[in-house]
Structure 1
Amino acid sequence: MTARPRRQAFGDGFALFAECLLTGVWFALAALPVVTVPAAFAAAARHLRAYTEGDPASWGAFWADFRAAWRTGWRVGLAMLGAALLLALNLAVLAQEGVPGRPGFALATFAVASLALTVLLRAAADWTPGARWRELFAAALDHTRTDPAGTGILLGGLAAFAAAAWALWLLAVPMAGCLAGAAVAVRRRRLDRAEEAAGE
């Protein structure tokens, strides 16, 4: 009697994993211009949220969400691109011999970049059509501070993404979908905990 629920749970989990991999492909296509990464993450997270909640989730809906997220979030994409270029310049300077305190500055740079990415992932996971990105980032920054466990999960996801991409750059495509899935899971975990606290 207990074998069937286990098989069903395994099947559901594997189906979700496959959906994350497929979403990673869609994300990669949407993120090709680089400046569209925030909008692509928002569409990917919304797609996975719809999938896990049993709502209609399709290729067409993904691209509709992507276009809506880009229309309201193109400034976020430009800011992210500028920050990425500044990070690359900083790392290029630190790569030079003779720079004092290189290891410490490099570690601080990666730490700040990683935390900034967790804020972006949280904001993207909360995005809905019509949402204001400024408000999403303000809430995401607060959640990053008040939910250290969720932040740790996202940092672990980023580390796994970086390791996979370092080993084989093509793995970055499916892993991006898994990263969006991690952001959705952290969001669901936070909402569940808030509901439990409100019910007590």
Structure 2
Amino acid sequence: MTQVPALPPSEGREPGEVFSSGFTLFADMLLVGLLTAVTCLPVVTAPAAFAAASATLRRAVEDQAPVDTGTYARHLRARLTRGSLAGGLAVPLLACVLLVDSALARTTLPGADLMAPALALLTLGSAVLALRATALPPPHALSPREALARSLADLRGTLLLAGAVVLAALLAWSIPVLIPLLPGPLVFAATAVDLRHAGEGEDPAGDGGTRN
């Protein structure tokens, strides 16, 4: 009787492990997204919540550390500062400005036709810049200046984040029940873009770029 040779374990999966490491990362992303959505309920805690989520995912990727509520809570406590709470106040203020401007855009005032696309670009740019800031590692965490610098230096990553924001907005509009899960993919995208940008900025030769 011919024996069927045993197949080797698939890449990224340990012997006896049911799910691959990619599925584990996906589950971690969903867990972090739910924790972030709950933490964002007071609104002013949104910057710290997203920054804690990015730090948690970054540690999971770099150090192979497990993702749990305790890890997220520790990162959250470290980022709940006066600065982050002050930045959180900008969220409702920006929302009020956008609501007022969108109402004016529907009137017959001069330039009203240009107001709608300008508001859309302003909202998209603000969201991308905010995601960049929350994905920054210490000592640049939640730094708008550093986020702007990286956004300009890494236009490809900025466009990828803009696409992620647009897709999240479409999902929130078409399937509102997914809204609590959307912070996870957004944080994952921002963290991945920042890690890629940091990796591209490293000198492969390790000699600071000097050549003989």
- Which of the numbers 83, 90, 106 marks the counterpart of 1:79? 90
* Equivalenced residues, count: 196
Gaps in structure 2 of 5+ consecutive residues = 1-5
Higher relative contact order by CA 8 Å / sep ≥ 6: 1 or 2?
1
Distance 2:7 2:131 in 1: 37
- Which of the numbers 138, 144, 158 marks the counterpart of 1:137? 144
- Does 1:49 pair with 2:62? no
In the alignment, which residue of structure 1 is the partner of 2:109? 99
- Does 1:154 pair with 2:161? yes
Indicate the larger mover: 100-109 or 173-182. 100-109
1:148-191 CA-to-partner distances (Å, cap 9, x unmatched) read 00001100110111011001212121121010000010011001
- Structure ID, larger Rg: 2
Shift of 1:70: 2.0
Distance 1:11 1:127 in 2: 27
Distance 1:127 1:81 in 2: 25
Alignment identity in percent?
33
Distance 1:169 1:24 in 2: 15
In the alignment, which residue of structure 1 is the partner of 2:40? 31
Distance 1:186 1:98 in 2: 41
Distance 2:96 2:172 in 1: 19
User: TM-score if structure 2 supplies the norm length?
Assistant: 0.82
In the alignment, which residue of structure 1 is the partner of 2:196? 189
The structure carrying a bigger helix percent of its residues is 1
Gaps in structure 1 of 5+ consecutive residues = none
RMSD: 2.4
In the alignment, which residue of structure 2 is the partner of 1:21? 30
Shift of 1:11: 1.8
User: TM-score if structure 1 supplies the norm length?
Assistant: 0.87
Distance 2:127 2:8 in 1: 40
CA contact (8 A) 1:42 1:69 kept: yes
Cα 1:56–1:105 change in 2 (3 A) is: same
Q: Which amino acid aligns with 1:185?
A: A
